Amino acid sequence: MKKTSTRLADGRELLYYDSRGDAERDAVDHRPLDAVTTTAEIRHDVLLRDSVAIASHRQDRTYHPPADECPLCPSREGSPSEIPAADYEVVVFENRFPSLAGDAGRCEVVCFTSDHDASFADLTEEQAGLVLGAWTDRTAELAGLPQVKQVFCFENRGAEIGVTLGHPHGQIYGYPFITPRTELMLRSLASHRARTGRNLFDDVVAREREEGVRVVLEGEHWIAFVPYAAHWPFEVHLHPRRRVPDLRDLGDAARTEFPQIYLELLRRFDRIFGTGEPPTPYIAAWHQAPFEGEERDAFGLHLELFTIRRTSGKLKFLAGSESGMSVFINDVPPEAAARRLREVASK
């Protein structure tokens, strides 16, 4: 993998990731852009003990542009975009409308492919491996920023999720704090170890392998299963068989196998509801250990993949119980979801 760093017209960093070592990247961004100004601010909720990003400048971000004005497609004559090059493999750049900025963290955009009409599931294994390389590299780079305590790589897909740009892309957040979800997992880890002397992530994976009924697919280095207490109608957790705290610690064999496993999962998601249905909306979220803390080495890197579609033509809304009290009600038994995901395996 070759990484080439450059700057956009307003000073934001842009990085090309290429599979070929001889790739040349010298295109210049000639757009007349003003310097990025943000209002990003972190406020602490004293009752819930969590943090909220206040970012009013995001009200002006690009919203459902026509395909020929997509800011994530390669630039062409008369239609400059966020990527000055005429083509690319994988690109990462600082978000023009970040939720987190400066001392409040960092937000980046990851473009998985230059093909506007593709999705992650359409990538080849080589292309998906290059994206994994970019995620890993960005985790390592952001770990060096003093204001960043945790890195979150994720993809939102589908208008139902709230995606405002249709081009296949994801984001990377460098949080200036440990997120509430991770804090809760860390507390659970410490409590489980104090009670049993064992690692909770190891025990969860061991239970799913032993019971088998919720396992969706398993490779030599990865296992994917619907969790016992799944929150979402179709939700899969993907764990490396050898527990590691973050993407930087994956071994070569796990990196090689990841594209095979992950692409198969995404393709199954698109077949859950049968032919004729629009692409399944989903969120794919990497959970990585924070960079500091006693429980870092005990944390288990994993990816959570879930959809808000509960059946054909119907969405799972976060209504009173979920939004008001954080108590999820799932209409699809996890065992039934796992069975369906096994039924739609590639032939």
Looking at the annotation, which residues are catalytic? 169
Burial class (CB in 10 A: 0-12, 13-18, 19+), 66: exposed
Burial class (CB in 10 A: 0-12, 13-18, 19+), 148: buried
Please tell me the distance from the alpha carbon of residue 63 to that of residue 40, in angstroms, as a whole number: 19
| Residues written for the chain | 347
The tokens of 151 are what? 């890195």
DSSP code of residue 77? T
**Angle between the 252-269 and 125-142 helix axes, to the nearest 10 degrees?**
120
DSSP code of residue 294? T
Q: Give the number of other Cβ atoms within 10 Å of residue 341's Cβ.
A: 23
Q: Give the number of other Cβ atoms within 10 Å of residue 220's Cβ.
A: 11
